[in-house]
A and B are shown apart, each in its own frame.
Chain A
Amino acid sequence: MSLLRFTKDHEWIRQEGDTAVIGITDYAQEQLGDVVYVELPELGRQVERGGEAAVVESAKAASEVYAPVAGEVVAVNDAIAADPATVNTDPMGNGWFIKLRLAEPAQLDGLMDEAAYRKFIAELK
């Protein structure tokens, strides 16, 4: 069973057992515009909750991708480094960024579920 959660910084995180996959939301990619560059962390790096995990650059500017929860980087999506536009076309799927081994799975409890995130972005518009 997988659990999908969202942050106010427009990351999504999908828990799969003791690991979780992280990416940016459709709203985030739309706000960024054309993604032209992605910088991913090295494997084995420990990231803190709210810490910088990756960088995404659009035609206009660079933005950080923050880790919604703490953990160790166990996989990175080299496909988006090779073809950054995948982040625009499939942000919730093939456009994922990193996979973490969770340090404290309970940290996910503090994040928004999909309904709460939808309400959150509706209020931003």
Chain B
Amino acid sequence: MEKFKTIQSTFVPLPIENVDTDQIIPARFLKATTREGFGDNLFADWRYDKEGNPKKDFVLNDPTYKGEVLVAGKNFGSGSSREHAAWAIGGYGFKAVVSSFFADIFRNNALNNGILPVVVSEEFLSGLFASVKNNPDSKVTVNLEKQTITNNETGESETFEINAYKKECLLQGLDDIDFLLSNKDKIEAFEKQRVYSY
């Protein structure tokens, strides 16, 4: 995994609530056996028409909006546990997703792929949508070290939560498997002393 560095970037607004993982990457794209290539089908049904041509009115097809950050409405990533959703978002080039609320599994999946889910207040979120509406070149700064997010357009700033372990993993570019494997003796000890063994 790459180390997570401070992002200062324009952002792509998606002011829709309850965006579920079936929208992020529809099931028919889940037939692959590798992690690559999902970015092309990110939001496929919103992005392309039946013939596969880009739909003009969808934000990813609008050259006005670009950047490494996706800013989405409340309750992002609900539904299916497919990690393909995180691969699609990462594959497309997003490094962070900002919303006022994330579904649990999506949040884990994103973190496991080096993508930072940033939870902000409803006010901050509407502030971002308002800024980008006025000026599509509005930028946002995400500083993981300090756990702050700034709307560069207004200067407004907020801190966000992330557990210390996950933060360290992202900053160092480490993953959980390395950690778990280093704990094998503890696992074996657990198996021997547990209350009831299945």
Q: Do A and B bind each other?
A: no
